[in-house]
Amino acid sequence: MGRAREMDETLAEFIRRTIFKIPMATMMTVLETWGFLSESQLQSLNFKQRKESLVHNLLLLCEENHASINDVALLDIVYIQVHRHQKMWNVFHMSKGPDEDVDIFDMEEFKSLFKKILHRALKNVTVSFRDAQENAVWIRIAWGTQHKKPNQYQPTYVVYHSQTPFAFASSSRLKSTVPLLGQALTVASKHHQIVQMDLRSRHLDSLKAIVFKQFNQTFENHNSTTPLQERSLGVDINMDSRIIHENTIEKERVRRVTQETFGVCPQPQLEFAQYKLETKFKGDLYGGILAKREEPLRCLIKFSSPHLLEALKSLAPAGIADAPLSPLLTCIPNKAMNYFKIRDK
Amino acid sequence: MSVLRPLDKLPGLNMATILLVGVEDALLQQLADSMLKEDCASEMRVHLAKSLPLPSNVNRPRIDLVVFVINLHSKYSLQNVEKSLCHLDAGFFLGKVCFLATGAGQDSHCSIHRNTVRKLAHTYRSPLLFCDLEVDGFRASMAQRLVRMLQICAGHVPGVSALNLLSLLRSPESPPLEEL
């Protein structure tokens, strides 16, 4: 039996491309979590062969099980759940009106409402849901238009934790979809308003920790403060009696101030913080042209690091900056922002 | 604010004390460790400080040599040294001070020009040494050099004084600093 008759060519292509982007190292985990193929089907696969042949064999198995677009979309969600660092995540904050009561949340109702709103607006759209831990649901939306089939290769992924006012969405090149997505989220979760927060990162779990204020809780729960304290000093305390530290009091102060500002627990992971300055030039050091300008001096300052907050935390103990650091740098987790605009008051 | 003076205390028996001043504690610590590994006939003490003035409530031995460590990657470290210099008695500059600039190896990371530190060292008539303290081998040889200088400054090398050494270290080949 030819495949063309069995399965739509676009679907076959979708399956092929979805499986192809899964790295071999995580292939087995992803397929098992997907749960679409039976145990015996999975065991029949040879993971030592070339990826092309493996993809071909998997395609035949999907055909055998009559895979639908939605099944493959679920596989794509599983893949993104495992490789969530590949996406840049945005955070949306929703709020209720002043006199609105807390409704009883029903996940099934949320899903059907969400789907209905997008379908009504676009007609062509693929919406898939996958429940995850902690009352979270992962949503995958492949966008289409009134006259065009959904594009399965530029989907938006959304993570929504039920009964919270926050939703996390992957950045997409299709900027025009953001308002519609916001609308669907607010209506389905029975909120009133939605705003995109100035908080972005590749580390979804860190974003969650920041907006749900979880990193402070770990601080209260665990009492393993001693090893972290030693580490935060930057250097081991030298036991050689011939080396005398003159500024032990100052060092202790820096350590205390750093601990007060950052806590003792590990920091959430962000990659950058951006500051847009629209302030007038102050100070007479360079004087002249700059000081007299009426217009603000525009500049953009970007701090980036694989682990920005830990880097900031170690600045003062390493002696690179004075303690306490500027509140602009230390307020990132508390304000849940890493994009700032600074203007003259 | 107490000013640190070179000769306000009697020297300890066979004691040589060096004071390393710089913001980056880890670097100073490593340098101190390397210095203590060197063979030295004198009994060596290494004091580490972030900045001057030193806390006045401590009893410390006579300081024989002060080394200001400047990281060329950080303006903050230069400013810290400039501020600290005011708390040092002029008598120290007769050969008992030296500047150590680190980080010149990674040119692209430098935010301080080398001439800036050269001018600083020239202003205070003190030798300037360049060394990448993060490279183990370089640090070890710098430690060796500092130990030798310390012994001279402490007066443990017969026939050479700190002032003697200072005039020896002034190299005639280097361009006159006024031109920099």
pLDDT at B171: 60
Residue B7 is assigned to a structural domain of this protein: no
Q: Is there a contact between A177 and A140 (Cβ–Cβ < 8 Å)? A: no
Residue B10 is assigned to a structural domain of this protein: no
pLDDT at A287: 61
Structure token digits, residue A183? 């609308």
Domain count, chain B: 1
Structure token digits, residue B70? 């400047």
Sheet holding A193-201, edge to edge: A125-132, A136-143, A156-161, A166-170, A89-95, A193-201
Sheet holding B15-21, edge to edge: A243-245, B43-49, B15-21, B65-71, B97-102, B128-130
Q: A-side interface with B, Cβ within 8 Å? A: 234-235, 238, 240, 242-247, 249-251, 317-322
Residue B111 is assigned to a structural domain of this protein: yes
- Model confidence at B178: pLDDT above 60: no
pLDDT at A4: 43
Q: With an 8 Å Cβ cutoff, is B44 touching chain A?
A: yes
Is A235 in Cβ contact with B55 (below 8 Å)?
no
pLDDT at A286: 62
Our CA-based measurement puts residue A337 at a distance from the nearest CA of chain B, in whole angstroms, of: 27
Residue B26 is assigned to a structural domain of this protein: yes
Residue B11 is assigned to a structural domain of this protein: no
A249 → chain B, closest CA residue:
B55
Residue B107 is assigned to a structural domain of this protein: yes
CA distances in angstroms from A211 to A92, A164, A202, A262, listed in the order given: 10, 10, 15, 16
Residues in chain B within 8 Å Cβ distance of A250: 50
pLDDT tens for each residue of A105-126: 888 999 999 999 999 988 899 9
CB atoms within 10 A of CB A334: 12
Residues in chain B within 8 Å Cβ distance of A251: 25, 50
Residues in chain A within 8 Å Cβ distance of B45: 242, 244
Our CA-based measurement puts residue B52 at a distance from the nearest CA of chain A, in whole angstroms, of: 10
pLDDT band at A229 (very low <50, low <70, confident <90, very high): very low
pLDDT tens for each residue of A180-210: 999 999 999 888 899 999 999 999 999 999 9
Find out whether the peptide bond into B11 is cis, omega within 30 degrees of 0.
no
Is B48 in Cβ contact with A319 (below 8 Å)?
no
Q: With an 8 Å Cβ cutoff, is B136 touching chain A?
A: no
Phi then psi dihedrals of residue A182, to 5 deg: -60, -40
- Domain holding B123, by residue range, is 16-54+61-179
pLDDT tens for each residue of A239-280: 678 888 888 888 899 999 988 888 888 889 999 999 998 887
Residue in A238, A244, A321 nearest the CB of B47: A244
Is A243 in Cβ contact with B36 (below 8 Å)?
yes
Residue B21 is assigned to a structural domain of this protein: yes
- Model confidence at A32: pLDDT above 80: yes
Is A234 in Cβ contact with B46 (below 8 Å)?
no
Residues in chain A within 8 Å Cβ distance of B26: 234-235, 318-319
Residue in A246, A320, A321 nearest the CB of B54: A246
Of A233 and A30, the one with more pLDDT: A30
Percentage, residues of chain A above pLDDT 70: 86
Best B46, B81, B111 residue to mutate vs chain A (most A CBs within 10 Å): B46
Q: With an 8 Å Cβ cutoff, is B55 touching chain A?
A: yes
Our CA-based measurement puts residue B62 at a distance from the nearest CA of chain A, in whole angstroms, of: 13
Q: With an 8 Å Cβ cutoff, is B58 touching chain A?
A: yes
A318 → chain B, closest CA residue:
B24
pLDDT tens for each residue of A41-59: 988 888 888 899 999 999 9
Our CA-based measurement puts residue B47 at a distance from the nearest CA of chain A, in whole angstroms, of: 5
Is B22 in Cβ contact with A242 (below 8 Å)?
no
pLDDT at A227: 44
Structure token digits, residue A206? 């860190």
Residue B1 is assigned to a structural domain of this protein: no
Structure token digits, residue A77? 């969600």
pLDDT at B170: 74
B71 → chain A, closest CA residue:
A320
CATH number where B23 lies: 3.40.50.300
Residues in chain A within 8 Å Cβ distance of B69: none
